[in-house]
Amino acid sequence: MATLTQQGSVIARCPDCDGAKSTFEYASQGQSRGHMTKMGYRGDRGFRVRFQLFKCAGCGRAGLGAIRMRDVHDSYPEDIFELLDFFPEAKERLPLPAAVPKGIQNEFREAEKCVEHECYRAGAALFRSVLDKTMRANGYKTKGATLEDQIDKAAADGVITAARKRRAHEEIRVLGNDVLHDEWHAISLDDVEAAHRYVQRILEDLYDNRDSVLKQLRDAKRVPDEDKRE
């Protein structure tokens, strides 16, 4: 969540800094980067909203803040009341093992971007897709095997734990199925963030110590993608 400092800067996660927290500055050498104001309303009560340009101190990316102002001195930042909105703002970007296949990494990152833009249903569907592609890359996508079957087999082989199996079903697969197959309904940030975390943990289970997992897969007669290329 972006925060506004008393000095008029915004602290927010920057998309171009890989989701790291950065300071977005409103001025350069004492000069504002530019703004415009308009009236905002809540019920019959009006207030001034300042749309202020910012610049990331790390990478230079521009940002735009909507800031409710007090009608006192008509000056910034002295008359700041509250930050109403800020764009762009990344969410936390979770680390992935280097061994995760590039296509799966890209899909995971795209799902994160959906969540950052509050497209929670799209993010949930993509996190389910990441899980599906991960099961396939590890030899569990066989003829007639549903994603539910694949998760159960991965747990039976010991490449994921029983606790992880339960989370894969409840937090990732079922949520994604709701998006793909049920009538439209809103999905909360909490729900999609749970899917985000548990997909990342499953990728860590399978790819942090890849050589060890490959041995388990081969012992269980699975054919991971590494063996298909040989």
**Alpha carbon of 134 to those of 35, 107, 108, 151, 207: distances in Å?**
46, 11, 11, 10, 10
Indicate if 163 and 209 belong to the same structural domain. yes
Task: Please tell me which residue, 180 or 207, carries the higher pLDDT value.
Answer: 207
Indicate if 154 and 76 belong to the same structural domain. no
Does the residue 35 lie in any domain? yes
Residue 145: give its domain's CATH number.
1.20.120
Indicate if 154 and 70 belong to the same structural domain. no
Indicate if 169 and 61 belong to the same structural domain. no
Name the pTM for this structure. Answer: 0.80
Indicate if 76 and 120 belong to the same structural domain. no
Residue type, 164: R
Task: Identify the pLDDT of residue 229.
Answer: 65
Indicate if 73 and 115 belong to the same structural domain. no
Pairing mode of beta strands 62-69, 45-56: antiparallel
Indicate if 114 and 206 belong to the same structural domain. yes
Range of the domain at 135: 102-225
DSSP string for 94-152: PP--TTS-HHHHHHHHHHHHHHHTT-HHHHHHHHHHHHHHHHHHTT---TT--HHHHHH
pLDDT in tens, 187-201: 999 999 999 999 999
pLDDT in tens, 27-65: 988 889 999 999 888 877 889 999 999 999 999 999 999
The count of domains in the chain is 2
Query: Maximum Cα–Cα distance for the chain, whole Å?
Result: 74
Does the residue 94 lie in any domain? no
* Boundary-marking domain end, from 32, 53, 87: 87
Indicate if 207 and 107 belong to the same structural domain. yes
CA–CA separation, 91 vs 124, rounded Å? 15
* Boundary-marking domain end, from 61, 87, 113: 87
* Boundary-marking domain end, from 59, 87, 115: 87
Indicate if 7 and 58 belong to the same structural domain. yes
